Structure 1
């Protein structure tokens, strides 16, 4: 018997049982016709999806499905214990929910076709096990960012462009419950006494949550989705984010163990670039990463990942970036990688770079390479050491070798716009030279910006180091 024939038997049994329960007299021929109709509808609607075993992109819900969800969900909770449900495998829970929902639809005289029933069960499962209305967006690989502005406004970013979705939460309480579910999963909390929280999802996606009273129009959730695609410099060439010559320069910088700072604005691709460059690190090196919310995707076998910790309810127990950088220096690292430099830990990072941890890296929020140096100087001052400005600049000039400036352009694309070398000091000023810069020329018919990465044609200050690693000739070819 084929799978279709086997399924047809079950559908016919369902039709007979439903007719009997409703007190409807129906002939064998009518049973056969109705079963055939339902079977075709089932096969067409289900397609090749793997049932309800994993969260999948679904329509946020037609009005009929959403109305049914509002009526069925409270009744479902009377049949299924949420605590026990959270401990069941999704496959087993899906079977239980499907059976109960089928009975409740009949009980409440709610009429949905098979596809709508399937979407209803998926939405209910997402609420019970996942992040409710956000699950379809998390399962959609075309979405890179999710921005929730209160219960009735959810935006996503696709291809660098923002779009308003029709995803909705039931109310403010529903949204806050989802926010708390996110942060609780990583041992953090968000409430009126602590209304701001950075966290991550199980897949590594970065999350920021802010709730009332700070968020006036309702809780806000911002999710930077973890990319399942492993981004390399070669892939970035394909995307148009940099040129082959710029990529080769960065590969040489990685091989020569240069200290690199990646600078850019919010959403410009700093972490993506850091992940791509970190792939150049030798597999035999010991790497310590330090982040507020772990999101780096290092592939080397010898990696120690450290994450900051916020204070507890009594305001105690906080572990800062600076605490972790200081501790990392005692862990015999070959390289230290900071997810983002934000404050006084900048001085500890510079000292690490100046004391034998060559090849260390980090990111910083700044719009130009020179601005990155100014911000770094300000962050050193935040450590409260009262160092003279010249002493701070000498630390920076002695520690940093390269600044990679990335930018999100108006067409939504991310590009490397400068590769700038830190040369040294002239008087009280840090001197730099651009090795490559992106020169914008216009846009094509699709609206995509076009331009060239232009070499400055100068001899890099780190040429002796490149020659030491046997890469001097290659570097000259890249710059010529």
Structure 2
């Protein structure tokens, strides 16, 4: 009978650790409900998978198309960002609920989250990204943020007016290297995915992310994702490792989810040496600030490089910068800048277009 007993299913799965979870669940559901329709079986398998991962109490929230983020601030009601606004929900979680969620997700993904590693990131099967901080770092109990993968629900047109939309499309078509900058939650990743989806289907696209969340409408995408160190501190694969590896795998375009460290050195070197049409994002409040942050990140990769060399390489790597911001409940393109290299200490950017304030 559907639904199956969750506790019984959990015991059955625990007895077959070497078998793929989906295979086990499908077999169990078919055995217990042989007359169920295919749709009913698929729905029950999905429900059980979510329950085993610990997200059962959050299923309704994660299924809401208007919800982009689910936030847990220790035991108590969960919060969500719905249509751009933070609101509390009627879903209340206990300490046991939160522990089950974190244990289920991090155990399945092989990522560490415990007293020795109290900060962690992982990804659910549907692409939802989960970040957590445990006690005692989180004073009032574990803090958890789940960011749903955006399935192209926001179009390029919804970001901007027709004039700038056309300009962005032309930048991609002309194989310009573009850096998207803005604050957290401003829509950098969403815009990046929209731009990458404009890349001609005859080209091979590599996406490189700390945790894969880009959803790109393109037939030839190779997605690379970082791997943290194991409990012994070994086996880590960084963004820098993946950037270097991607350059040997015949990419036409590289899409770097976020530049935030020493990987900037390899990325900038590749773009400055003629690898055209690539895209990246960076946390920054302004175009000039974005270039300055890139210079800092490149220096992290090779502290021995003279500053004037770093500045010249950064300015030759990217052609244009696009700013994004929140505006009320919406996200929008706020500015378009051209990178200029006048070999001076000037900002290095020229504003082409800015949104009316």
| Pairwise TM-score range, normalised by the shorter structure | 0.7 to 0.9
Which position in structure 2 is the counterpart of 1:371? 289
Give 3-state SS (helix, strand or coil) of 2:340's partner.
strand
Whole-Å separation in 2 of the counterparts to 1:335 and 1:413: 29
* Distance (Å, rounded) in 1 between the aligned partners of 2:49 and 2:236: 36
Confirm or deny that 1:205 pairs with 2:140: no
Question: Aligned in 2, Cα 1:206/1:125: closer, same or farther, shift over 3 Å?
Answer: closer
TM-score w.r.t. length of structure 1: 0.65
Cα 1:143–1:371 shift into 2, 3 Å = same
The yes-or-no answer on 1:416 pairing with 2:333 is yes
Distance in 2 (CA, whole Å) between partners of 1:246 and 1:126 is 41
Conservation of the 8 A alpha-carbon contact between 2:226 and 2:242 = yes
The 8 Å contact of residues 390 and 428 in structure 1, kept in 2 or not, is answered as no
Change (3 A) 1:374 1:205: same
Task: Work out the CA distance in 1 between the residues paired with 2:51 and 2:297.
Answer: 42
For 1:155, the equivalent position in structure 2 comes to 79
Question: By percentage of residues, which structure has more helix?
Answer: 1
Take 1:136 and 1:246, find their aligned partners in 2: how far apart are those partners? Answer: 37
Offset, 1:160: 0.6
Counterparts of residues 94-113 of structure 1 (less than 5 Å): none
1:276-291 residue pairs with structure 2 within 5 A? 276-291=194-209
Distance 1:150 1:352, change over 3 A: same
- SS of the residue corresponding to residue 408 of structure 1 reads strand
Residue 174 of structure 1: aligned partner: 97
Give me the whole-angstrom Cα distance separating, in 2, the residues matched to 1:143 and 1:90. 32
Matched, 1:317 2:240: no
| Runs of 5+ unmatched residues, structure 1 | 1-50, 54-72, 97-121, 441-480
Q: Which residue in 2 is equivalent to 1:438? A: 355
Does the aligned pair in 1 maintain the 2:169–2:198 contact within 8 Å? yes
CA distance in 2, matches of 1:188, 1:206: 13
The match for 2:345 among 425, 428, 438 is: 428
What are the residue-to-residue correspondences of 1:64-463 with 2, within 5 Å? 77=7, 80-84=8-12, 87-89=24-26, 92=29, 127-128=51-52, 131-170=55-94, 172-234=95-157, 236=158, 241-409=159-327, 411-440=328-357
> Take 1:128 and 1:318, find their aligned partners in 2: how far apart are those partners?
27
**SS of the residue 1:133 aligns to:** helix
Name the CA distance, whole Å, in 2 between partners of 1:179 and 1:211: 10
Partner secondary structure for residue 115 of structure 2 = coil
Q: CA deviation at 1:431?
A: 2.7
Cα distance in 2 between the residues matched to 1:321 and 1:386:
21
C-alpha separation in 1, matches of 2:324 and 2:178: 13
Q: Distance in 1 between matches of 2:345 and 2:229?
A: 39
For 1:157 and 1:315, locate their aligned partners in 2 and report how far apart those are by CA, in whole Å: 35
CA contact (8 A) 1:393 1:429 kept: no
Contact between 1:289 and 1:336, CA under 8 Å: does it hold in 2? yes
Mapped to 2, the partners of 1:147 and 1:94 lie a distance apart of: 37
Residues 81 and 146 (structure 1), Cα distance of their counterparts in 2 relative to 1, 3 Å cut: closer
Give the distance between the partners of 2:310 and 2:289, measured in 1 at CA: 15
Aligned pair in 2 of structure 1 residues 391, 52: CA closer, same or farther (>3 Å)? farther
| SS of the residue 1:164 aligns to | strand
Structure number with bigger Rg: 1
Residues of 2 paired with 1:133 and 1:314: CA distance? 33
Distance 2:109 2:340 in 1: 42
Cα distance in 2 between the residues matched to 1:316 and 1:152:
36
In 2, Cα distance between equivalents of 1:123 and 1:397: 50
Whole-angstrom CA distance in 2 between matches of 1:230 and 1:142 = 10
Where structure 2 has 5 or more consecutive residues not aligned to the other structure, the ranges are 14-20, 34-45
Distance across 2 between alignment mates of 1:244 and 1:429: 31
Is the 1:153–1:167 contact (alpha carbons within 8 Å) kept by the matching residues of 2? yes
Contact 1:197–1:208, Cα closer than 8 Å, also in 2: yes
- Other structure's SS at 1:296 match: coil
